[in-house]
Structure 1
Amino acid sequence: MRVLVVRGGWAGHEPRACTEMFIERLRARGCEVEVAESLGAYDDRDLLERAGLIVQCWTGGQLTEQQEQNLVERVAAGAGFAGWHGGIVATAYESPRYQFMVGGRFVCHPGGFVDYDVEIVAEHPVVRGIGSFRLHTEQYFCHVDPTLEVLATTTFEGKHGAPETAGAVMPVVWLRRFGRGRVFVSTLGHAPADLAVPEVAALTERGLLWAGGALDCS
């Protein structure tokens, strides 16, 4: 599988360090990985056409209309699209087709870094054998598409100055079919330490493989 990793944006999410963790894993599985450090990669239709999987880690970016069109059309034609945390749900806010393809957008994380539970709520190869677990990181509150295939959730308690969130059951990991393509999103992964948590590392790697059509789903 040929993989295109598009990384950059806000440095606080350490896009280089975070993506390197999974580039190593993908190459170990025999994937051919190409890295782009500019959203201009989405202007290159030949580059997109070569990619069976596009992994994006770019917080706070803006896509031109042409970049959005090229990316969305490539995924609809069969490429996988995958990412985590702000690199996929806190970017391209002005691009409605991108937002529709991803299926969710970051709104806020009350309290900043807090303790919370991640509940596995589905039977799927991406989360097979992974039990519910607890984290200390940002608890993302997102606006999400109701048609998502949700694999994991978290429940907000209305704390940290956000009583309006009390009882909200929020998707944390989800899948989406988009045309002939597959989309994987996890809101976990603020920094390498979060992605190194065994449960997070496992479901993220599997999610990338699933999006690329390379996960054994038997």
Structure 2
Amino acid sequence: MESKMTAHDTRRALVVRGGWDGHRPVETTDLFVPFLEGSGFEVRIEESNEVYADRAVMDETDLILQSVTMSEISREALGGLRDAVERGTGLAGWHGGIADSYRGSSDYLQLVGGQFATHPAASPEERAGGEADNFLPHTIDVTDLGRTHEIMAGIEQIALRTEQYWVLTDDLNDVLATTTHPVQPYHPWHRPVVSPAVWTRGWGSGRVFVATPGHSPDVLEDPSVRTIVERGLLWASRTR
């Protein structure tokens, strides 16, 4: 007799989106809702991070996909988020939606393991005054650890022209890919800076996944970037 999945067996994903509109949180997260549903998740979408303070919701959530750039978070919501991840809820996201959220909260920064610092711009004579001034050609390079990890399997180097994130981080992260900021005469640093671009992080019983590419839908639709994000979502999720 064929077994049937019960309501308890259904995995649940919570999409939390909002903050700065420039990262198009609705459009970008909508790209991955069909993937999550096709992977067996029941998807709930919230436009406020206050849902994190609801213990009942968080206890039944296996994966949080967050896209909230900047913005603020209450003490209760942050506590709920940290506690949920520690108990086993996965947390995943890309670009500013996870690595540039809640700038005023050091406890959030500790949870995700990386904070956006800057995205270097093109040379002054090439700047036209729009967001494309910050779109630089660069590569995402897989680390030795990344080559052994299921998230990066079969992916070597990714060439992009978009924002290149420089993040502040710590060594609790397992860095799967990096990007290198070169020395330029118009920048004040004096040697190349290697910055993590894809990482995972264990937090209690939970898993955290971060990919820094993802400024706009076209970046997330790059086949390699999309593959990494989709795999990262599944990797981070609690399995029942």
Poorly superposed stretches of 4+, deviation over 6 Å? none
What is residue 66 of structure 1 aligned with on the other side?
76
Match of 2:221 among 196, 207, 211: 196
Is residue 15 of structure 1 aligned with residue 25 of structure 2?
yes
> Offset of 1:213 from its aligned partner?
4.0
Q: Secondary structure at the match of 1:126?
A: helix
Instruction: Map 1:14-93; keep pairs closer than 5 Å.
Output: 14-93=24-103
What is residue 139 of structure 2 aligned with on the other side?
117
Q: Look up the equivalent residue of 2:150 and give its one-letter code.
A: P
Q: Look up the equivalent residue of 2:141 and give its one-letter code.
A: E
CA RMSD of aligned residues (A): 1.2
Q: From the CA coordinates, give the structure whose radius of gyration is larger.
A: 2
Residue correspondences, number: 214
Deviations 1:50-94 (A, max 9, x none): 101111000012111111111001100110000100000111122
Deviations 1:171-191 (A, max 9, x none): 000000000000000101001
Using structure 2 for the length normalisation, give the TM-score: 0.86
> Offset of 1:131 from its aligned partner?
1.5
Deviations 1:112-162 (A, max 9, x none): 110001101122000001121110000000100122100000111023832
Deviations 1:91-118 (A, max 9, x none): 1122222110100100100111100011
What is residue 7 of structure 2 aligned with on the other side?
none
Q: Secondary structure at the match of 2:152?
A: coil
Task: Pick closer, same or farther for the CA change 1:52–1:91 going to 2, 3 Å.
Answer: same
Structure 2 runs not aligned, ≥5 long: 1-10, 122-133
Mapped to 1, the partners of 2:212 and 2:190 lie a distance apart of: 17
Q: Look up the equivalent residue of 1:38 and give its one-letter code.
A: S
Match of 1:130 among 155, 159, 166: 155
Using structure 1 for the length normalisation, give the TM-score: 0.95
What is residue 207 of structure 1 aligned with on the other side?
232
**Identity within the alignment, %:** 41
What is residue 99 of structure 1 aligned with on the other side?
109
What is residue 200 of structure 2 aligned with on the other side?
175
Mapped to 2, the partners of 1:2 and 1:68 lie a distance apart of: 20
Tell me which moved more, 170-179 or 153-162.
Answer: 153-162
Q: Is the 8 A contact 1:110 1:161 kept in 2?
A: no
